[in-house]
Structure formats: structure tokens, C-alpha cells
Structure 1
């Protein structure tokens, strides 16, 4: 069975709005390396529309820094599933699924392949409740935002989920990558 990884950038106070953080080149290398073990990206509509076509355009035009270009190339090469009831079209590497995110992720998890990377805050509680998230890779930024979208809404998880910290990476920027498994 494939491993499902949830990965995201987060502030010290638990917000995950990427506009609140200061990007660092070292993080592009970290995320690019993380994608080496991934052959499917699983998005909600909002995150998908933030990521694409932006990264596909950077990959095609080579318009970013060296690290951004490498990350963009890797992101653009991976197949994607987006869960959306309202999205009408997507690029050729993306399949739109209309309903049952947990059921779809379970089906995909049972297929052969590398890891599945999940990047959807809106569906995270449902996927955790269904027992589908095997590991979390959080990059904590040295920022207290005081606002934004929280990783989890209060009360969205009824049962506590105990995790084991298996790796940490400290970056010169002050960011910390934390790798947890069930």
C-alpha cells in the first residue's frame, strides 16, 4: 500500500497561508527532494488553483530562481488529482474528482506506485478521520502571523492523533522541517 504524506508550510502560531511566510531558496531544494518519492499529488481546488498553472508556467519559462525552476519542473511532471465540485477544466496531467475525497484517496492508496502527496487543508480533518494520512511533513516558519487559515479548525478532529517525530531539519533561514509518522 502506498504512503500518503501531508506536507505544508506553517507559521509558529499554526496558520498555513503561504503569503504570510518568507520563502527561502533552501526550502525549494527541500521540497524538490521530497517530491523524488512522490508520483501523485492530491489537491483540493483552492490549493490546486494556487499551485497550477503557476508552477507549470515557471517550469516551462524557467522564470524562477534555480531552486524554484527545479521545484517547478518536478511539480509539473507529477500526475495530479484535484477534488472539486466546481472546477470545470484542468491541465492534461490533472484528473478532476467530484465527490468522496476519502474514498478516492483510499482507492489511490491501494494502487501500486510511489508516495501520494496531499496538500489540502480543507479536507485534512476528513482524511485524518478516515486514517489515510500516514505522515506529516510540516515546515515551521519563524513567523507569528496572528491571522490566516489555521491548519485545523477548532473541533474538526474529535479523536486525538498521536504522532512520532522521526526527523527534523533546521534551515539557516530559521525554518524547521518536522517529519511525523503515525
Structure 2
């Protein structure tokens, strides 16, 4: 069975507003490295629309920094699934699924292949509750925001989820990446 990994940038106080962060080269390289082990990304609609066409434009025009261009190329080359009842169109190599996110991810997890990256804050509680997330990559930024979207709401995952720290990386930017496995 394939592993499902979830990775996100997060503030010290638990907020996930990507517009508040200024990822540097090493953070982009970190996430690009995670994508090397994946052949599918499982998006919620909101995250998908935050990422595309932004990253596909960077990949196409090579308009970012070197590390952003590498990240964009890798991100765009991986097949994607987006869960949405309202999204009408998606970019190439992206399939739209209309319902049952946990059931669909379980089917994908049972197929042969590399890791699956889950990228949706809104679907995260459901995917955790279904036992579908095997590992987590949290890149903690040295900022406290005090407002915004939280990674998890109070009581959103039901039971406690025990994790085992696999690795920690400190970046020159002050960010710290923590890689956890579900126990």
C-alpha cells in the first residue's frame, strides 16, 4: 500500500496562511525533495486554486528564482487529483473527483505507485480520522500571526494522533522542518 504524506508551512502559533510566509530557497528545495518520492498529489479545491495557475505559470515562463522554477517544474509534472463539487476545469494531468474524499484516497492508496501527497487543510481532519495520512512534514516559520486559518480546529480529528519524529532540519531562514510518522 502506498504512503500518504501531508506537508505544510505553518506559523509558530499554528496558522497556515501562505501569504504570511516568505519561503527561501532551502524551503522550496525541501518541498521539491519531498515531491521526488511522490507520483500523485491529492488536492482540495481551495488549495488547488491557490497553487494553480500560479505554479504552472512559473514553470512555463521560468519567471521565478532558480529554486522556485525547480519546485514549479516538479509540482506541475506530477499527476493530480482535486476534490471539488464546483470546479469545472483543471489543468492537464489533473483529474476532478466530485465526492467521498476519504474513499477516493483509500482507492488511490491501494494502487501501485510512489507516495501520494495530500494537500488540503479542509480535508485534513477527515483524512486523519480515516487513518489515511501516514507521515507529516511541518515547516514551522519564525512568525506568530495571531489570526488566519488554523491547521486543525478544536476537536476536528476526534481521537489523539500519536506521531514519531523522524527528522528535524534547521534552515538558514530560521524555519524548522519536522518530519513525523504516524505511530
TM over 0.5: yes
Whole-Å separation in 2 of the counterparts to 1:104 and 1:152:
22
Structure 1 residue 152: Cα displacement: 0.2
1:79-158 equivalences in 2 (<5 Å): 79-158=79-158
Taking the aligned partners of 1:147 and 1:121, their CA distance within structure 2 comes to: 16
Q: Secondary structure at the match of 1:165?
A: strand
TM-score (normalised: structure 2): 0.98
Q: Distance in 1 between matches of 2:167 and 2:23?
A: 21
Moved over 2 A (4+): none
Structure-1 separation of matches of 2:92 and 2:119: 19
Corresponding residue number in structure 2 for 1:36:
36
Which secondary structure does the structure 2 equivalent of 1:145 belong to?
Answer: coil
| 1:25-56 superposed Cα distances (whole Å, 9 cap, x missing partner) | 11111111111001000000000001111111
Aligned partner of residue 144 in structure 2, secondary structure: coil
- Please, which runs of 5 or more residues in structure 1 have no aligned partner? none
Aligned to 1:172: 172
- Matches of 2:28 and 2:163, distance apart in 1: 26
Q: SS at the partner of 2:117?
A: strand
Following the alignment from structure 2 to structure 1, what is the Cα–Cα distance between the partners of residues 63 and 113?
31
Aligned length: 182
Post-superposition Cα deviations, 1:72-125, rounded to whole Å, max 9, x if no partner, equal 000010000000000011112100000000000000000000000011000100
Aligned mates of 2:155, 2:20 — CA distance in 1 = 24
Aligned to 2:46: 46
- SS of 1:67's equivalent in the other structure is helix
Name the structure 2 match of 1:18: 18
Note the C-alpha offset of 1:172: 0.7
